């Protein structure tokens, strides 16, 4: 099972953090900090795997990938395969790239809720749900279409109702 997904920049600022087991806010910060501590001490050409026993408890492992100014981190237990998880990060990033056309750090924190929507289409309750970025994008677009539609409705109804109440 996947325990957590984190996206943080190279200064250790979290850009997205999702924990599939509930963690209190302070603990979340602590985890983010210790993950960043582990990441920042890694050499450039080292492997993408870290044993995370100390951070997340025995048997947990961490896979990360470094893109430009961002670290993408997955933390998971022994039931997952490291290389597959590394690939999952790839899927996530590919999807973001397709969604935002050349994704960069700005896109990620300006589109905070969209990031969550995308992630929820890939990982569901700690299990891998979908690994095809085209499928993910299809689902996300469907949601946004509906949302814009309903948005428009509320906008109209709002203005109408406010106009009426006048």
If one asks whether residue 134 binds other proteins (CB under 8 A), the answer comes out as yes
If one asks whether residue 144 binds other proteins (CB under 8 A), the answer comes out as yes
Distance CA 64, CA 139 (A): 26
Give the shortest CB-134-to-other proteins separation in angstroms: 7
If one asks whether residue 137 binds other proteins (CB under 8 A), the answer comes out as no
Give the shortest CB-55-to-other proteins separation in angstroms: 11
Residue 28 CB-half CA count within 13 A: 17
If one asks whether residue 103 binds other proteins (CB under 8 A), the answer comes out as yes
Please tell me the total number of residues recorded for the chain in this structure: 166
If one asks whether residue 114 binds other proteins (CB under 8 A), the answer comes out as yes
* Contact positions with other proteins (CB under 8 A) in 16-75: 16-18, 20, 22, 24-26, 28-29, 43, 45-51, 53-54
Strands, sheet with 49-51, edge to edge from the N-terminal-most edge strand: 14-19, 2-9, 70-76, 61-67, 49-51
Tokens of 132: 């095809």
């Amino acid at each position: 099972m996947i325990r957590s997904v984190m996206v943080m920049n190279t200064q250790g600022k979290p850009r997205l953090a999702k924990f599939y087991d509930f963690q209190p806010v302070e603990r979340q910060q602590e985890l983010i900090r210790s993950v960043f501590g582990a990441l920042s001490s890694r050499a450039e050409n080292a492997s993408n795997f870290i044993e995370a026993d100390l951070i997340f408890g025995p048997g947990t492992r961490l896979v990360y990938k470094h893109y430009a100014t961002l670290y993408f981190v997955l933390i998971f237990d022994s039931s997952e395969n490291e290389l597959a998880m590394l690939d999952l990060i790839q899927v996530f990033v590919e999807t973001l790239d397709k969604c935002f056309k050349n994704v960069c750090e700005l896109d990620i924190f300006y589109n905070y809720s969209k990031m969550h929507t995308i992630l929820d289409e890939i990982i569901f309750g700690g299990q891998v749900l979908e690994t095809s970025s085209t499928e993910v994008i299809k689902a996300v677009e469907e949601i946004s279409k509906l949302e814009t539609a309903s948005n428009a409705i509320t906008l109209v109804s709002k203005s109408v109702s406010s106009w009426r109440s006048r």
